[in-house]
Amino acid sequence: MSYDELSSLTKAELLDRARAIDLRGRSKMTKAELVAALFAAESEEDTAPEEESGPMIPIPGVSQEDRVEARARRTELYDRLADLVDQSRLCEWRSIEGHGCGLPVVREDDACALHTDRNRYDAAVPITGRLGFDTWPTLFRHLHLATYDIDAIGLDPVLHEMAWHVFNGLYYDYFRVDVDGIENIPMDGAAMIVANHGGAALPYDAAMLALAVLNEAPTPRRVRVSATEIYNMLPWVSHMYRKVGAVYATHEDARHLLERGAMLGVFPEGESGFMKPVWQAYHVQRFGRGGFVQLAEQTGTPIVPVAILGAEEVHPTLGVSRRLAQLVRFIFPQQRVEEIAVFLNPVPLPVRWRIRFLPPVMPENPGVEPDPLRMLERSEDIRRSVQSALDTLLAARGTAFS
């Protein structure tokens, strides 16, 4: 509608139009101002799609081409996620105190992602059908009213989705994670993902591994990465790590999840993985006592070995300190840390990550307890496959940042 056509309308009609597009400050505008504002809004709408994502803030160490590619990858993910929900139907769930739901329904289901029973804690269908800070008011409403259930471990689907969106910034724009072999991840049923560990005690690799499966798999699945008991002792961490989908590493929790067909992420190297100095990076340490093999055999779960390149360089470990551990024990007397990895950079380095999923290793005798030596042998086989994949990836790349 042209400027002249707008000027010929009455003020009441102009106000109606302004209300329809929710123009701010419309009640205080004069007629001329309304015409100008409406005209500006209409012409803006025509050009809107081209600049919807806003300007790019430069990140030191990340090139402009990488940012453009990251944006393209995000758009591709958002398109894939949008297909998972049916925006034309709304969830009819109502709480006993009378709060309605009103979220879009998951495709081929009758309820939204928060109130459906099907794969509720496995498939990570975005609650409003997309990711973005503009969906957070809706998410906060459900968080505040507690309209949905958490799972037994403590996963809160709303906080999981918020963390997913926030950490996607790291995943796409900062670490520029390249993933291959995603077809090795089973799309339903239990699986155990076994990866090398790095990152000087900060669980970047756990987050990126979970995001790789969320972002690259045809339908996003949650990987429940396992954490040590230190996470249960630290304030705020103690509940947030559960709410965003991690689990405490015990056999009970792991079995509970695997028996219900969930995907478990394990770092069997444990602390010897991230305690090693940077000049020994990507020398995969022994996979503990092979307890993960025992668990996989007992529950008949395939093991997917994963090589993660990048985690061991974001915070280059220079050594370990016993003094620092003493200090931590002084502040948190419950903790039993003996050593703490020392690194100098407070901000992670912009390393380009590569994650390779290797073909799954099937259990030998599902349901049968393996003998201790066989456990060690099999865990050593898996460690070797991760090591050789890391070596290939290392040889193929130039520098860590390119």
Residue with tokens 């758009």: 75
Closest approach of other proteins to the CB of residue 248, in Å: 5
Closest approach of other proteins to the CB of residue 399, in Å: 40
Instruction: Report the residue from 64, 75, 87, 250 that binds other proteins according to the rule CB under 8 A.
Output: 250
Instruction: Report the residue from 252, 330, 344, 398 that binds other proteins according to the rule CB under 8 A.
Output: 252
Instruction: Report the residue from 153, 182, 201, 342 that binds other proteins according to the rule CB under 8 A.
Output: 153
Closest approach of other proteins to the CB of residue 99, in Å: 11
Instruction: Report the residue from 172, 241, 248, 357 that binds other proteins according to the rule CB under 8 A.
Output: 248
Closest approach of other proteins to the CB of residue 101, in Å: 14
CA separation (Å) from 23 to 4, 30, 36, 101, 364? 20, 13, 12, 27, 65
Q: Which is nearer to other proteins, 80 or 239 (CB)?
A: 239
* 224-228 contacts, C-beta under 8 A, 24 or more apart: 224/153, 224/155, 224/257, 224/262, 224/263, 224/264, 224/265, 225/264, 225/265, 225/266, 225/267, 226/253, 226/254, 226/264, 226/265, 226/266, 226/267, 227/203, 228/270, 228/271
HSE of 289, CA atoms in CB hemisphere, 13 A: 6
Q: Structure tokens of 265?
A: 């992420």
Closest approach of other proteins to the CB of residue 102, in Å: 19
Give the range of 77-85, 108-116, 153-161, 272-280 binding other proteins by CB under 8 A: 153-161
Give the range of 9-17, 26-34, 240-248, 288-296 binding other proteins by CB under 8 A: 240-248
Q: What is the DSSP letter of 170?
A: I
Q: Which is nearer to other proteins, 121 or 171 (CB)?
A: 121
Interaction mask 305-334, other proteins, x per CB under 8 A? -----------------------------x
HSE of 273, CA atoms in CB hemisphere, 13 A: 26
Closest approach of other proteins to the CB of residue 337, in Å: 13
Q: Print burial letters for 271-284: b (CB count within 10 Å at least 16), e (below 16).
A: bebbbbeeeebbeb
Instruction: Report the residue from 229, 338, 369, 391 that binds other proteins according to the rule CB under 8 A.
Output: 229
Q: Is 279 in the site for other proteins (CB under 8 A)?
A: no
Give the range of 150-158, 170-178, 365-373, 376-384 binding other proteins by CB under 8 A: 150-158
Q: Is 97 in the site for other proteins (CB under 8 A)?
A: yes
Interaction mask 56-95, other proteins, x per CB under 8 A? ----------------------------------------
CA separation (Å) from 50 to 55, 80, 263? 11, 20, 38
Distance of CA 20 to the CA centre of its chain: 37
Q: What is the DSSP letter of 22?
A: T
Residue with tokens 């001329």: 32
Give the range of 190-198, 238-246, 279-287, 298-306 binding other proteins by CB under 8 A: 238-246
Alpha helices (runs of H) in 300-371, residue ranges in sequence order? 311-314, 322-331
Give the range of 7-15, 184-192, 244-252, 381-389 binding other proteins by CB under 8 A: 244-252
Closest approach of other proteins to the CB of residue 207, in Å: 20
| CA–CA dist 269, 285 (Å, integer) | 6
Q: Structure tokens of 107?
A: 């495709």
Alpha helices (runs of H) in 182-223, residue ranges in sequence order? 204-216
Contact residues for other proteins (CB under 8 A)? 96-97, 144-146, 149-150, 152-154, 156, 229, 232-236, 238-239, 242-243, 247-248, 250-253, 256, 334
